[in-house]
A = this chain, B = another copy of it.
Amino acid sequence: MVAPRDARRSPVDDAASVTVHDVAREAGVSQSAVSRAFTPGSSLVADKRERILAAAAKLGYRPNPLARSLIRGRSGIVGVGVANLANPFFVATLQLLSDRLDQNGLRLMLFPAQGEPSIQDVLHYRIDALVLLSVSLSSLLAGECRRAGVPIILYNRTTDQDDASCVVGDNAHGARAVAAHLLGGGHRRLAFLSGSPDASTNIEREAGFTAYLAEQGLPPPLRECGHFAFDAAMAATRRLLLRPDRPDAIFCANDTMALAAITVARHEFGIDVGRDLSIVGYDDVPMAAWPSFALTTYSQPAAQMVDETVRLIHALRESPSNHEAVVCPGKLVVRGSSRPVA
């Protein structure tokens, strides 16, 4: 569908009729100052900026994005795909990422939750880099982006493919720390409430948890799937707590599911959480600290993970093929939802 051309001046009209030189003369400043006035993140004293924008408005000047893109070789746009904004960990990440990109003079283009961005969008907007927050990367998009020279960074996901870098928490260490904490509290009938079974985070957390139990001579945990979501986790918790061999401790693969597990245990089964049943999450979202939940959880360092992501964006723009896998360690935060270590 081609929309009717609107009545505003087109960039070619502008470029043909009014130049940076004209605006600089009108405002009584250098051409470089005019350029800075239209460049996101550039410094310029406020009254000079106002004078330049007033002159530009008077003359009808608008900058030409293609010319800038040619000079800089880049659009300054980072595409971000987010699978699940229902998880506060990714909301916090998005907020941090938005701020950090802004501080670096970059702009964030948000793609909807249904899946990864299309290669059409990546090419059309000349996106500099793609960041996928818990979105699995298809081999199709990975190959298309490699051919187009657009780096991809997976956040909170690893990949088998060579075409992407990734920034993740230390899931194996985190899951082992949770297992040690629960065994130290005297628990022996353990359960794992899993997220989406094929997510790398889920696979690594379950493997680390199960491996630690095996090293201590214990069988694998009971297991139900909550798909990283509140409602599915409520249903999964009911199935676990209705078993004749009811577990006395549940490790949930994220905090959203742990909050659901506490809700079901307390309000539907009347269980004293933290004494008769320990529940532990993963992420340390803001709600975990609320007294209504007091959730023991393994804290993922979102700020550090975002800093590493932005560092990688810069590094990959210089050397697109130098892929990295960055692992950011977290720490166990013990609150009231789990029995203290004896």
Contact = CB atoms under 8 A, between A and B. Distances in A.
Contacts of A73: 3-6, 8, 10
Nearest to A150: B8
Copies in the complex: 2
Interface string A98-111: 11011001011111
Contact of A94 (B57, B70, B85): B85
B37 A120 contact: yes
Given A5-B71, A5-B73, A102 B112 contact: yes
Interface in A46-104: 53, 57, 62-66, 68-74, 77, 80, 85-86, 91-92, 94-95, 98-99, 101-102
Interface string A316-331: 0110000000000000
A148 interface: yes
A39 interface: yes
A124 interface: yes
Nearest to A294: B267
Interface in A175-229: none
A234 to B, nearest CB: 10
A28 interface: no
A66 B11 contact: yes
B120 A40 contact: yes
B125 A6 contact: no
